Structure 1
């Protein structure tokens, strides 16, 4: 299995995040990608190749032009306002506040284009996020060209990012960008299976009214876990997309024995839908020692996850999402890939 990776992704290197009511050391850090890459090489998963550089259009097929432009010009705006440290939003246009104003100040723009206060932006965030999206797009192109499986070693992750907002450490929605690219270049039915511990709210929202991209997600129950306001079982799509979204919110403490029946049910939906390609949003934060997880996977359970996904029997793109137990991240990731490849 080929792995696509760009070292440019390492340029986004946040030092801290807001968590549990205080500034804490960031967990979405470059070493996540570095340790996965090292394990891919050590265990000889396959060739590691750089991504192609894509034009801006595939991003605009998923994200608003205004949002993409904001991320691109954010750092000059930030430094022009007299700041040079990592940026966090602190005000949002919710409920009784107006949505139609033409905010110019960078702090207002940060609020308009964000969903949380825990995702720092820095000098190199846009460049790294573009490289991450290019990594996913290259994997999609490889599948269109005939590869049966590809691993997109993406960082920063993507599944919380929406049409015009960032959050959850995510800036561009890599899985959604790849899915749209597959649709634009010839495939009629694409499935996204999200196995991250946290619900992929951005991905769901982007395809919620569409029947051409099936979205399935297994995740911690949002009544107890981020993102709290999406990912419930009664969310099944709307309009033409009715029935093409499915969620399996699972209780805190879920282990493999409790998780696997839900995974089997999701795989049955895949078999009914018969996608021409499947994208797996590969979060590895179901691991028992993950610092921001409440699930109880052991490292060997990730082998079982890969084996089960292989039985779906369609061309598959794995896109790295979450997973913050850095020391075990490479092992858990490659266990999935090797389980899938047999």
Structure 2
């Protein structure tokens, strides 16, 4: 199993974000990637740098209007007298249709859901290289690899087709799933981040070829607040192809694993040809966001249960923030996943 990562992803270094109205250091820092990469190596994964895949993987998911915004907004922002060092919106529309603002300030509000996705000089390149990691990992699985781990940083599951949010700019899990669709009729995405993957849900909400399943802290009092509720089941052709399993705050291993059984049963009923795991290690009991209470051994059990599906799998890194056990949690997940995945795939031969 390979870990796909490009050091250029570390160039993005956001300064701060607002939490409950207060300015705080942004936790989505390059050190996350260093810790996770070292852990993947310690777990025995082989490192590989993704090739430059250009804009095509991102353009398969995101609108050209949004991609043009991401590429050019930092330079435009710097021409505004008195502007902040990073692009941070100060206005948001109460509806997103009809006219499109010409000003950089207006477009920032249109394309950025919150203050947790500041855009700096290196953000576009880092996000694009993160997307390349996801697409390259998916291509390897499409070509026969049993599994691959895309160390995507910045993460992606809060990014919609035309809107950044929650530390995310390009939706890496969606990009991986779309790449897999070229080789299989149905793809499932299982999101186990502490936060609901609202962007991923939005991308596929009216589609029946990609099943989206998310386990996360109940958004009634937790980010992203407006998405992730159990009643959201899809729309149009996608009705019944979206499953949200919101969990009470501080849910630990047993509660999480019970919900995971439900999620895996739904995935099995979909009969996908491949799986994308949106891996959030921020469900950990000691993570700074403190939403859920999964233990390090619990991540091993989670990985093992997912591996039992025996599906060709792309693991895409989402959340998981700097704490003492961040690397240990990744190792536990990977070890659990590979052990059971190997047994199931060998038996199926």
Pick the TM interval, shorter chain: over 0.9
1:41-80 equivalent positions in 2, closer than 5 A: 41=41, 43-80=42-79
Aligned twin of 1:5: 5
- TM-superposed deviation, 1:56: 1.4
- TM-superposed deviation, 1:272: 1.2
- TM-superposed deviation, 1:120: 1.3
Deviations 1:232-275 (A, max 9, x none): 11111121111111110111010011111110011111111111
- TM-superposed deviation, 1:84: 5.8
1:258-277 equivalent positions in 2, closer than 5 A: 258-277=255-274
- Distance in 2, matches of 1:139 and 1:99, equals 35
Aligned twin of 2:128: 130
Deviations 1:304-325 (A, max 9, x none): 1111101111011100000113
1:1-342 equivalent positions in 2, closer than 5 A: 1-41=1-41, 43-82=42-81, 83=83, 85-95=85-95, 99-183=97-181, 185-342=182-339
* Structure 2 unmatched runs, 5+: 340-349
- Is 1:4–1:48's contact at 8 Å kept on the other side of the alignment? yes
Q: What TM-score, normalized to structure 1?
A: 0.96
Aligned twin of 2:344: none
- Is 1:287–1:298's contact at 8 Å kept on the other side of the alignment? yes
Deviations 1:202-222 (A, max 9, x none): 000111111100100001111
Deviations 1:84-126 (A, max 9, x none): 612211101114xx84333122111110001112221111000
SS at match of 1:223: helix
Displaced runs of 4 or more, over 6 A: none
- Distance in 1, matches of 2:293 and 2:183, equals 39
- Residue-pair matches, total: 338
- Is 1:89–1:116's contact at 8 Å kept on the other side of the alignment? yes
- Distance in 2, matches of 1:327 and 1:76, equals 37
Deviations 1:54-101 (A, max 9, x none): 131221221110000000001110111134612211101114xx8433
- Distance in 2, matches of 1:141 and 1:299, equals 30
- Distance in 2, matches of 1:293 and 1:163, equals 28
SS at match of 1:253: coil
CA 1:163/1:35 → structure 2, altered by over 3 Å: closer, same or farther?
A: same
- Distance in 1, matches of 2:269 and 2:211, equals 11
SS at match of 1:158: coil
- Is 2:43–2:331's contact at 8 Å kept on the other side of the alignment? no
- TM-superposed deviation, 1:326: 3.4
